[in-house]
Amino acid sequence: MALPANFDIDDFVRRVLAEDLGSGGDVTSNATIAADARFTATMNCRQEIVVAGLDLAAAFFRALDPDVSIQLDAEDGQRVAHGTTLMRVAGNARAMLAAERPALNTLQHLSGVATLTRRYVDAIAGTGAVVLDTRKTLPGLRVLEKYAARMGGAENHRMRLDDGVLIKDNHVAVAGGVAEAVRRAKAANTGLQVQVEVDRIDQIRPALDAGADRLLLDNMDPAMLREAIALVSGRVPLEASGGVTLETIRFIAETGVDYISVGRITQSAPAVDIGLDYAISR
């Protein structure tokens, strides 16, 4: 998985399993299934999806049964049809049943993000615009959700508050104006590009004159976006943001903006339908 080097997969798996198993473990399986029973299973998608998180799902099974046999039949970023088998698993029955829900929850959610993201990316194909994600993520899952967005074809915007300067309307209000906010950000010498949010055409020239490296055009309709693009005339990259939907993103992209940020791809993505189908091993 192309996750940041400092993301600890083993720690994530341990925390998720601890949340689900508690202190007593899977009392139902322990009471009804023999300790040496073995299962085989196939993990199948029940709708067309874009896969994300398959290796992470496999890690849950390995954590509870180090001897489990796993075969991956798909890969992250792949668009697969309804009925496609994603994974084949064989191992201890109790371990597989305990790992099933955390594995499926993770894979269904991340593949949901990737699948919705791909719909937005496909909607603007050929325009030259790029879909960006945002910081509108579930607490504690940002790294994984942004990974899933990449698997869906988006690019990541800033991961955290410390890896990008983005001046928004509240910063502008406190600083006393767009130009002053940009001036202060440039004077701070962070080594980072300074992006500033503008929601009016008359804010653009002051932002550029103060040295903004990039503009976020917030909640502008296509006519305003075209006016902004003409005024900027290629001096800095332009990102459109605010209320972007599948119905509107193509109109936004066709104005000529460079980027379109979409909070919905992480904030509102529905889980996809993936199931684990079991058979008893003899």
Catalytic (active-site) positions: 101, 136, 168, 197, 218
Q: What count of other Cβ atoms lies within 10 Å of the Cβ of residue 220? A: 21
Length of the chain, in residues: 282
* CA-CA-CA-CA dihedral for 229, 235, 240, 246, to nearest 10: 70
Where on the phi/psi map is residue 211: left (φ > 0), alpha (ψ -120 to 50), or beta? left
What's the CA gap between 61 and 92, in Å, rounded?
9
Residues pairing with 167 in the sheet = 196
Q: 214: which 2 tokens?
A: 């990039």
Q: Is 159 exposed, middle or buried (0-12, 13-18, 19+ CB in 10 A)?
A: middle
Q: Could you tell me which of 161, 183, 157 has the C-alpha nearest to residue 172?
A: 183
In the chain, which ranges are continuous DSSP H helix?
9-21, 27-32, 54-64, 93-123, 142-151, 169-175, 178-187, 204-209, 222-232, 249-253, 264-267
Q: What count of other Cβ atoms lies within 10 Å of the Cβ of residue 190? A: 13
